Structure 1
Amino acid sequence: MPTTAAYIGAAIAEISGCFAFWAWLRLDKPVWWVLPGMASLALFAFLLTLVDSPAAGRAFAAYGGVYIASSLAWLRLIEGVKPDRWDLIGAAVCLIGAAIIIAAPRPPN
């Protein structure tokens, strides 16, 4: 699985899982919302293992930028709140940082 697909899938799974808990605790949804949330969080963890990186910490760090941008997409598409320019600028900075982490030339380990 390509890194981009793994990161996007992981972001959707993580945000969905966290939102399930948010919905239960903050939006008065029934407690059973936690069950698919936990399954989604397990899928998130699995998908991050598919990233082609010799170091977990580097894969997780680069994922952070994708997570931030995906969270803003969730904000718009699911919650119906339009991100402001500062949200978008911040996400762009994070994605640039993620790209640097992923694509930087490194000597072989």
Structure 2
Amino acid sequence: MTRTLFAYSGAALAEIAGCFAFWAWLRLGRSVWWVVPGLVSLTLFAWLLTLVESEAAGRTYAAYGGIYIVASILWLWGIEGHRPDRWDVAGGTICLAGMAVILFGPRTA
């Protein structure tokens, strides 16, 4: 489980940072050179998801969605300086609960 949490946390940070590099280039007028570390970061994101302990890629990606949402809210707050409101917190909590059901729910053989 520790490996899964590490992989999801690292993947979320890498994906958000990689996507933000494109956002900075296309929406904030930064240099096109922002894309280079963005692509490296997105590659790291994809590799980290392969470390998740799950037999099915689709389940891994579905469960990752909850982590990504919460990480995006934390990015909103920590990097962009916008404090999450109660709806952000409630939505993130619901998504984490859904992620736990998808990833850790008992499976039949």
Same-fold status (TM-score > 0.5)? yes
Cα separation, 1, equivalents of 2:11 and 2:5 = 10
Structure 2 unaligned blocks of 5 or more: none
Q: Secondary structure at the match of 1:2?
A: helix
Cα separation, 2, equivalents of 1:15 and 1:93 = 20
Cα separation, 2, equivalents of 1:25 and 1:13 = 19
Cα separation, 2, equivalents of 1:84 and 1:34 = 31
Question: Which stretches of structure 1, 4 residues or longer, exceed 3 Å deviation after superposition?
Answer: none
Q: Secondary structure at the match of 1:80?
A: coil
Cα separation, 1, equivalents of 2:33 and 2:78 = 24
Q: State the number of aligned residues.
A: 108
Structure 1 unaligned blocks of 5 or more: none
The offset of 1:107, in angstroms, is 2.2
The offset of 1:102, in angstroms, is 1.2
Could you report, residue by residue, the CA deviation over 1:32-75 in whole angstroms, capped at 9, with x for unpaired residues? 00000000000000000000100000000000000000000000
For 2:15, give the aligned amino acid.
E
Q: Secondary structure at the match of 2:83?
A: coil
The offset of 1:103, in angstroms, is 1.1
Q: Residue 23 of structure 1 corresponds to which residue in structure 2?
A: 24
Structure 1 vs Structure 2 CA RMSD: 0.8
| TM-score calculated relative to the size of structure 1 | 0.97
**Identical aligned pairs, as a percentage?**
62
Q: Residue 102 of structure 1 corresponds to which residue in structure 2?
A: 103
